[in-house]
Homo-oligomer: A and B are copies of this chain.
Amino acid sequence: MGEQFLEITEKREVEAIIAHIATEVAKTRAKTGTFVEKVKVGEALGRIASADIFSALDVPPFDRATMDGYAVVASDTFYADENNPSVLIISGYISAGEISQQYVERGYCMGISTGAPLPKGANAVVKVENISEYEDIVEGQKIKKVKVYKPVAPAENIMLAGSDIKQGERIVRSGTTLTPRETGVLAACGINEVFVRKKPVVAIISTGNELIAPGEDLEPAKVYDVNAQTLSDSVRECDCSPLFLGIARDNLEELSEKIKESLETGADVIITSGGTSAGAGDLLPKVIEERGEIHVHGVDIKPGKPFIFGTIRGKPLFGLPGNPTSALITFNLFVAPLLRILSGILADEEGERLKNKRIKAKAAVRIFSERGRNEYVLVNLVPLEKPGEESFLAYPLLTGSGAITTLSKADGFIFIEKGKEITEEGEIVEVELLTNLFASKKLYQKIP
């Protein structure tokens, strides 16, 4: 129960250390190639292509009418106009999905619908609007003919085979997130399975003698474990798969056992929460030192000072505070950037991919902070009735107490640099959002 001795590292340095290791781990994952899985295109929405994808066929696979009309030899229509229509004999009709063995000779034409393959001999389609169909009697026989009132150029109203996508053409670049556009292109090429990056697996361990799992009966002196849930869902928002390994009591054996289990299950990242404050703070560093390396033990921020970062057998391991709001803030500051690199979110936006979504807001009241500490203040955002440049007021929330209601009101947090004591009412502050879902719901229309 004595003071804990931390080697405080500066926040910027912590970020640099984590970014470096994240990049190393991402490279290893990319190289080994075991971090790839095949999924149905129908289940691929939002996943990331793990390799370039090429078309095995021409799209369209044949010369295709793009209008309802008549397939003709273009030169038969060159001199047609309203007063002197070209006259052609109809030799048949082709619907979409049908194929015709007929050959369209000069002086003939075939009725054709949008999407049908152009018959041999024809090289253009006259739109139905520019034609009139009629019956003529030739040598006692009824013959169907058309008058063409407007000329067509060769290839007019036709999409040539392969003009949209060529066989062998790259249709999706490696690293692309699959939206309905990409899945549609895959479908067009007849592809129904696709290789995507496996989602990184993140083992989550809660530590603390006082914790029990939600759903179980509450015993005296116990509280329900909150972090397992908030961290699992935050991991999901980073496009990773959480794997909750349960609650470890505050002793070396149980913690060590859980971490061993994380490694055995093949988790890519390990997150523990709790047990980093004065009382039980020595356990996690001991376990890491036994099996790996501690890179960070203590950061110059509040809350989150006792934050731990290490690696065991190349796997990143985070020790977050037990207080749910502190855990969520340190997750967003240090864990989320690493997970986003591993999951490949925003992989194309170098430099920007490490950041959470941010918005600007006005401080609703004066905010006081401790001098000499980089402080993170949770805020609740309230949309302004008459938004100006900013659309929100930011109300500070008390973070120290570990209150759950603070958590439920927190939309994001603002950073107050060491040395700044007062943020004035009305001052513009940058709010880092705690959840993407927030953005897609409450903020949906507020983002211009």
Contact = CB atoms under 8 A, between A and B. Distances in A.
A436 interface: yes
A13 interface: no
Contacts of A185: 404-405, 407-408
B444 A349 contact: yes
A14 interface: no
B223 A187 contact: no
Contact of A1 (B62, B68, B225): B68
A208 B188 CA distance: 15
Contacts of A113: 1, 278-279
A42 B97 contact: no
Contacts of A116: 210, 221
Contact of A225 (B46, B180, B187, B214): B187
Contacts of A401: 66, 159, 164
Nearest to A403: B164
> Which of A60, A193, A227, A348 is most buried by chain B, counting CB atoms within 10 A of its CB?
A60
B357 A444 contact: yes
A41 interface: yes
Interface stretch (A233-241, A283-291, A309-317, A419-427): A233-241
Contact of A210 (B97, B225, B278): B97
A27 interface: no
Nearest to A59: B404
A88 to B, nearest CB: 16
B214 A186 contact: yes
Contact of A179 (B46, B277, B357, B435): B435
A230 interface: yes
A180 B435 contact: yes
B180 A222 contact: no
A264 interface: no
Interface in A399-413: 400-405, 407-408, 410
Contacts of A345: 441
Interface in A93-135: 93, 95-99, 111, 113-117, 128
A200 interface: no
A98 B190 CA distance: 63
B444 A440 contact: no
A429 interface: no
A184 B46 contact: no
Nearest to A64: B223
Interface in A195-241: 208-211, 213-216, 218, 220-230, 232-234, 236-237
A194 to B, nearest CB: 11
Given A42-B232, A185-B408, 10 more contacts: A2-B128, A97-B209, A114-B278, A159-B401, A180-B328, A180-B437, A187-B214, A187-B225, A187-B228, A187-B230
